[in-house]
Chain A
Amino acid sequence: MIRTENITKTFGSNEVLKGITTEFYAGKPNLIIGSSGAGKTVLLKLLIGLFTPTSGKVFYGDTDLYALNPKELRVIRMKVGMLFQGNALFDSMTVGENIRFPMDMFTKMTAQEKRKRVDECLEMVNMEGINDRFPSEVSGGMQKRVGIARAMVLEPEYLFCDEPNSGLDPQTSILIDELICDLTNRNNITTVINTHDMNSVMGIGDNIILLKNGLIAWHGNKSQVLESDNQVLEDFIFASPFLRRLRADALKQRSNG
């Protein structure tokens, strides 16, 4: 579990986060949602330690992330996997080498063990047989899967996904969501997903935090979204007239029995 205590972050005179206190649970996808500029990516980067908070604390279990020295921080980070918005796959390495990189760096596994683990990870994301291809030779959706495979290779306890559906078609988006959800449940990982994809919210949102202007505007899960009368949530989720109409119809049908 990851817990934040009154996290704030200021860039110059711009206060991006104004005091975030929340929890991200193990074994279920935790979603951070909000419109552009709400502070989602900043919060995610604070959770991983890529930014330092202006004030407040982040706890991994009982460990205060920002009280650690660089060496201890690297030990925590070895338990973390991350899927980047742009995938961040190393262009000069093949898919297989990308996935193998964390093992090369941190384990004493033999070449055969590494090869086996790479194959397992690719199989896990349904991408068998593309070890020798370069990232530029596979599609965006495949790159996302390779990114997930690389994030999962050292069996992390924490998985962070920065907009995993961006730039993908709805069908592939759903597949990626299902994959992340499945890995989270199966391995009891604390997964934090930063998204503004509505399919993700309604599909895998077991714990949803809605940010607006650097504050938590709403906190709940996917089953509470439809019933909520929170105006910020309504404005964000049902931004399009089409979705508003669908929601109105659904609520009308429900009230009619």
Chain B
Amino acid sequence: MLFNSFEFILVFLPVVLLGYYLLKRTAPEAAPVLWLVAASLFFYSWWRVEYLPLLLYSILGNYSLGLYLGREALRPKWRKLVLAAGIVINLGLLGYYKYANFFIETLNALAGTRWDGLTILLPLAISFFTFQQIAYLVDSYQGKTRHYGFLHYCLFVSFFPQLIAGPIVHHRDMMPQFMRNRRQPLQLDNISIGLVIFTVGLAKKVLIADNLALFATPVFAKADAGGTLTLVEAWQGALAYSLQLYFDFSGYCDMAVGAARCFGIVLPINFNSPYRSRNIIEFWRRWHITLSTFLRDYLYIALGGNRLGPVRRYANLMLTMLLGGLWHGAGWNFAIWGGLHGIFLVINHGWRGLTSGIPAMPAWIHRIGGLLGMLLTLVCVVFAWVFFRAESLAGAVAMLEGMVGRNGTTLPAKYLSRWSEFGPWLSQKGVNFQDLETLQSLSPLWNMLALWVFVCSAPNIYNLLAHKQPVLEEVQRSRFALPLTPLTGFFCGLLLVAGLLSLSRVSEFLYFQF
């Protein structure tokens, strides 16, 4: 079930919400939790019920292992062995379902073998619930977990707002809320805040991201089909995709946060205006924050982090980002994308080290530096997204060739006459004026640039609602705080209707494949 579907918005969410608050008022303490678990498992099974046993086995197995690891009487070596076994089993399942065919294809390409691929369906959300539970096992091993009831653990893993595509939640954040929430009365404030955030997320997804796809998809399709891309059309495709992914992913996260908040559960922030970042380090503190946190806490630090000298630090960083890239998908394009970000991070850290001794600059230089940094970060990120989006390496290369101007520049024919003297001048300079299927007008490009300015400068919904604690973390308050008045309710209602109206163009979230 998609968040952006009538089934979810008009039936599933209201029914589950109603049942939850009714049970809280009338039934024993465990009933609302049981209701949420049942609803979450139903939500998970909606696509394919075949996936459900794997999720249940995973929950049961990890819960049992966590309990066992929490026993104080265990010998350290045995405890370590049990933890290692738990991690291997979790990663083994993930590896089998997600990476087996990638491995076979790579082997065939390298060794010239002709092994057949396996007929495997990737279970939904496996990347997310595997990571959440590995964190739980590691923390159990380190004695950082308390004794959780099975029902609450089930809810921690399967809670439907965050189950399918994150945010990746931590038991430390969620369990206290699930347990504390037992006898909380119905709070209309929670539903109001949840509804606002959900509506904004829905609008981002169906009104913006889906429309941007119309400009990104044909360009990447052309590149993947071996077409030649010229400068402007390649940039238009790359910018459109970068914005599409931003609105798609942040829209999804908003919907997850909003839906959870309706139940009185506050989720962590996952997406905090990343394109506003002034460097790559900051970007990764704003983009898919819960994944970055997991990779930092359970991979980068486990590898030694920055404790073993600069060389090991940078090697750890590269490895973390490469694996982070592969987490997004089983393909070399994702590895390259991760690797590129690893390189960017290494350069960024190196630059910081080099410039750390320089005395503070005047404010205006600092401001200009910040703007240039933001621009450079955007260019790097957009270039890297090309590998993330293209279906083949050749497609990515074709896109990049277009973006660096190797195939010249073509503009829509109408501009030759419209730009009175400028058009012919450009034509003399080698710019070609011709209508391309993927570039009929420059209006979409101007609109995209305006959208870029907006996402780089406007506050996000969490900034606007900071006074209502919309997420677990403290977020920067906007100068303008969004009040929950009848007027905002009116505009929110209109936005909800606009989102609902576009739902017949159902499209999947980009992040579902991860």
Partners in one complex: no
